[in-house]
Chains A and B, each alone.
Chain A
Amino acid sequence: MSSDAALTWFARHELRLAWREWLAMMTGGRRRRKRAVAIGLIVFAAFMHIPAWAVIGRFADLRLPLDKSSLIVITASIFLAWALMLSQAIESVTRVFYARADLDLIMSSPVKLSNVFSIRIAAIALSITAMALLLSTPFVDVLVIVGGVRWLSAFGVVIAIGLSAAAVAIAATIVLFRLIGPARTRLVAQILAAIIGAGFVIALQVAAILSYGTLSRFAVLTSDAAAAIAPGIDSIVWWPARAALGDGEALLLLLSFGLILLGVVMAMFAASFADTAGSASVHAGSGRQGIRAKAFRGGSRQQALRRKEFILLRRDPWLISQTLMQLLYLVPPALLLWRSFADSSTAIVLITPVIVMAAGQLAGGLAWLTISGEDAADLVATAPLRPARVIRAKIEVVLIAIGVLFAPLVLALAFASPSQAAVTASGVIIGAVSATSIQLWFRVQAKRSQFRRRQTSSRLATFAEAFSSIGWAATAALALVIPTAAIVSGVMTAGLLAATWKLSPRR
C-alpha cells in the first residue's frame, strides 16, 4: 500500500471509529435501538426549531452593514459557541490521550507516526465540527427560512470556529502535558473545560448584575459602554459576525484562518502527539506519592463504605469539574442576592430555582457514581453486609454531600429571607431525593469510568432526572410567588416520578 493510500485508509478507519463511538453513545451500545434513535433524533431536531425560532428568530432580518450593538451581540454569541466547542474539544482530546485503545498497535506499525497522528488530530477536529454543525442546524435553519439563503454562510462560520476550537484545544492540552505532566493534566483539563464552557456566560451575567442589577447578559452587550469600547466597524473582530451574515470575503478569510490554525497545530504537534499520548496512558494517575500512611479508622461497616465513597468522590476529576461548574453557575444568583440586600429587589426569587436545579442535577450524578459506579462490585457483594445496608450507606453519602455543598447557600439566603430559605431547603431536599431515587430505580452495575456514557444506559432515567430537577425548581420558584400554581407544578412533578417508577426495571 502506498503512503497516500495508507493515510486515506487510516482516515477512513478513524472516521468509522468516531461514527461508531457516537452511535454507541446514542444507542447505549444496543443495535436494535438504531431506528428508534434515528427517529428520536429527527423528532428532536424538528422540535429544536421551536426554541431556536424563539431565541434567534428576531435576528433573521438583520442585514449588513450593522450597527455596533448588533455586531457585539452576534460576535459574543459566536464567541460563546466557540468557547463551548473549545470546552468539548479539550474533553475529547484528553479522552483520546488517556485511552490506550489502539495506541500500541499504531505505534508498532510500519507507518510514519507524524502522518498518522495528523489524521487523528484532523479526525478530532472533524468530529467536534460535525457535532457543532448538528447542534447549530436548527438555529441556522430558522435564520435561512425567515431571513433568506444568505444565512447559509453561518454553517461556514460553524465549520471555521469548530476547526479553530479543536486546534486550540489540542495545542493547549499538549502544552499542559509538558508544563504539569500527564498525572495532573487530566484533572486540570477537565476543570478548564468546565470553566471555559460556563465562564463566558457567567462573566457576562456577573457584569450585568454589577452594572444593571439584572441577570440578562444582553444588558451588557447592548449597552452604550460596550459600544464605546468596541473596535471600529471595519475591525477584524467583526469578521465572524459579517461572515455569518453572508459576507463571502469574511467567510473565506475565517475558513482559511481555521484551516491554517489546524494545519499549524498538526505540523507542530503531530510528531509529539504519539509521545504525549503514550506517556499519558502509561503514567495515568501514577506517581501520586506522599499520601501518609495513617492508622486505620474504626467504626461500623456502613461507616467504612461511606468513608470509601467520600474519598472516591473527592478524587473524581469529573465530579470536581462538574461541582465547580455548578458552583460557577451559582455565582451570578449569589451576586444578585448580595446586591439585593441593598435594594430589596424581587430578582432574589431567581436564586431558589437555580439552587434547586443545581442540587437535583448534582445529586443525580453523585447517585450514579456511588450507586451504579461501583468498581469493586464483587468485593462489596461478597462482604458480610446486607445489600439494603450497602444501598442505604451510598444514599447517605449522596445526601450528606448535597447537604454540605448547599447548606451554606441556604444559610446565606436565610439572612435575606427566612421563608425563601425554607422553601429552597425543601426544594433542595426533594430535588436531591428524587434524582437519587431515579438512579436507584434504574441502577446498573458499571465502572465509574463509564460515567460519560451513563445517559445512554437509560434515556428514560436521563429525561426523568432532568425533568424532575426542572419540575422541583419550578415548584420552588412558584411557591414563592404563586403558591396555588406551585401545587399544580408539584403534583405534576410527583406524577412524573410515579410514572418513572412504574416504568423502572426495579419496580
Chain B
Amino acid sequence: MKSEQSALQVRGLTKRFDRLAVDALDLTVRRGEFYALVGPNGAGKTTTLRMVAGLLRPDAGSVAIFGIDALGEPVAAKQMMAWVSDEPMIYDKLTPLEYLEFVAGLWGVDPQVAHQSARDLLVSLGLEPHLGERCEGFSKGMRQKVALAGALVHDPSLIILDEPLTGLDAVSARHVKGLLSDRVRAGSTVIMTTHILEVAERMADRIGVIAAGRLVAEGTLAELRQQNGRSDTSLEDLFIALVDVEAAA
C-alpha cells in the first residue's frame, strides 16, 4: 500500500530504553479506519504511539502521516493529527472554553469556527453546565472529556488515543465512543490503544495485537479468528492465545 493512501505508515520503528520497547515495528493504518492497538502491559503500545505523535524520538525507523515524513517535517505532520493520553493534558486554571481556545490557537484554527466547534463539542460531551468553571475541580472523567474536546476542536484527520476510556463512567464512555465513531464516519482516522477488548471488538475496523514491541497479529476480528483457526471465539480468548504464544516464544 502506498503511503499516500494510508493515514499512518510506520516502518522499522525501534525504541530502546533499558530494554527494547519497540522492535522494528511495521504498521499501516488506512484512511478513515478505526484501528485498535491491543496488547499486554509493557508491550510497547504507548511508546509506539508516542513516537508517532512526535513525543519520543525513535532510535530507528520511519513514520509517515498521510504521506508526510513525521520525523523530517514534524510541524506539517502534527498539523493533521491529535493526541489524547490516558492522563488528561489540561490546565487547572483554565475553563474548558479557554482551554479549547488555546488549543485552537495552537493549531491555527479560525477563531469563529473554533468557537462554534468548541461549544458543540463541550455540549455533546455533557460539559455545558461547566463551561465557565475552571478545570481544577473537575473529576477525572470530566478532565478526560475536556482533553478529548481539545483534541477534536481542530478537526484532525488522524486522532491517536492512548486508553481514552480510562476513568470514564458508562455514560461518558458511550459519549466518547459515539463521538469517535462519528469522526470516523466523517472521514477521520482513529488509532486507539485499549485494554477493554470489548471496545476494540465492537468499534474497530481492524485490530493490531502487539507484544514485546512487535505486531504479532493484525486484521479484522474475522481475519484474526481465521489466522488462529478459531472461528467462533471472542477477541479476549484470541488475545490471550496470541500473547501466550508470544511469551512462550
**Is the C-beta of A285 less than 8 angstroms from some C-beta in chain B?**
yes
| Given A383-B107, A385-B106, also A295-B115 (CB < 8 A) | yes
**Is the C-beta of B164 less than 8 angstroms from some C-beta in chain A?**
no
Contact between chains at B106 and A301 (CB < 8 Å) = yes
Residue of B nearest to A304 (CB): B105
Contact between chains at B53 and A382 (CB < 8 Å) = yes
| Given A299-B105, A301-B105, A385-B106, also A291-B114 (CB < 8 A) | no
Which A residues are CB-close (under 8 A) to B55? Answer: 378, 381-382
**Is the C-beta of A506 less than 8 angstroms from some C-beta in chain B?**
no
Which A residues are CB-close (under 8 A) to B133? Answer: 286-289, 291
Chain A contacts with B in 357-399, Cβ cutoff 8 A: 375-386
Residue of A nearest to B88 (CB): A376
Contact between chains at B81 and A382 (CB < 8 Å) = yes
**Is the C-beta of A316 less than 8 angstroms from some C-beta in chain B?**
yes
Chain A contacts with B in 269-304, Cβ cutoff 8 A: 283-293, 295-301, 303-304
**Is the C-beta of A308 less than 8 angstroms from some C-beta in chain B?**
yes
Q: How far is the CB of A284 from chain B (nearest CB, A)?
A: 6
Residue of B nearest to A306 (CB): B105
How many chain B residues have a CB neighbour from A under 8 Å? 43
* Distance of A312 Cα from B92 Cα, bound (Å): 9
Contact between chains at A291 and B95 (CB < 8 Å) = yes
Contact between chains at A379 and B107 (CB < 8 Å) = no
Q: Considering residues A304, A312, A377, which has the most beta carbons from chain B within 10 angstroms of its beta carbon?
A: A304
* Distance of A305 Cα from B105 Cα, bound (Å): 8
**Is the C-beta of A20 less than 8 angstroms from some C-beta in chain B?**
no
Contact between chains at B108 and A308 (CB < 8 Å) = no
Contact between chains at B101 and A297 (CB < 8 Å) = yes
- SS class of chain A's interface: helix, strand, loop or mixed? loop
**Is the C-beta of B126 less than 8 angstroms from some C-beta in chain A?**
no
Q: How far is the CB of B77 from chain A (nearest CB, A)?
A: 8
Contact between chains at B94 and A308 (CB < 8 Å) = yes
Contact between chains at A285 and B106 (CB < 8 Å) = no
Q: Considering residues B78, B93, B95, B134, which has the most beta carbons from chain A within 10 angstroms of its beta carbon?
A: B93
Q: Considering residues B83, B95, B102, which has the most beta carbons from chain A within 10 angstroms of its beta carbon?
A: B102
How many chain A residues have a CB neighbour from B under 8 Å? 41
**Is the C-beta of A105 less than 8 angstroms from some C-beta in chain B?**
no
Q: Choose from A284, A297, A298 the contact partner of B136 (Cβ within 8 Å).
A: A284
**Is the C-beta of A58 less than 8 angstroms from some C-beta in chain B?**
no
Q: How far is the CB of A31 from chain B (nearest CB, A)?
A: 18
**Is the C-beta of B110 less than 8 angstroms from some C-beta in chain A?**
yes
Which B residues are CB-close (under 8 A) to A298? Answer: 105, 110-111
| Given A286-B136, A297-B111, A308-B102, also A386-B75 (CB < 8 A) | yes
Which B residues are CB-close (under 8 A) to A378? Answer: 53, 55, 83, 85, 89
* Distance of A385 Cα from B102 Cα, bound (Å): 13
Contact between chains at A296 and B132 (CB < 8 Å) = no
* Distance of A292 Cα from B133 Cα, bound (Å): 10
Q: How far is the CB of A393 from chain B (nearest CB, A)?
A: 10
Q: Which residues of B contact A (CB under 8 A)?
A: 53-55, 75-76, 78-79, 81-83, 85, 89-95, 97-98, 101-108, 110-112, 114-115, 118-119, 131-134, 136-138, 150
- 20 A/B residue pairs, CB under 8 Å, sorted by A: A285-B93, A285-B134, A285-B137, A290-B132, A293-B132, A296-B104, A296-B111, A298-B111, A301-B106, A305-B102, A311-B94, A312-B93, A375-B89, A375-B90, A377-B89, A383-B103, A384-B75, A384-B79, A385-B78, A449-B92
| The 4 nearest A-B residue pairs measured at CB | A304-B105, A286-B137, A285-B136, A296-B111
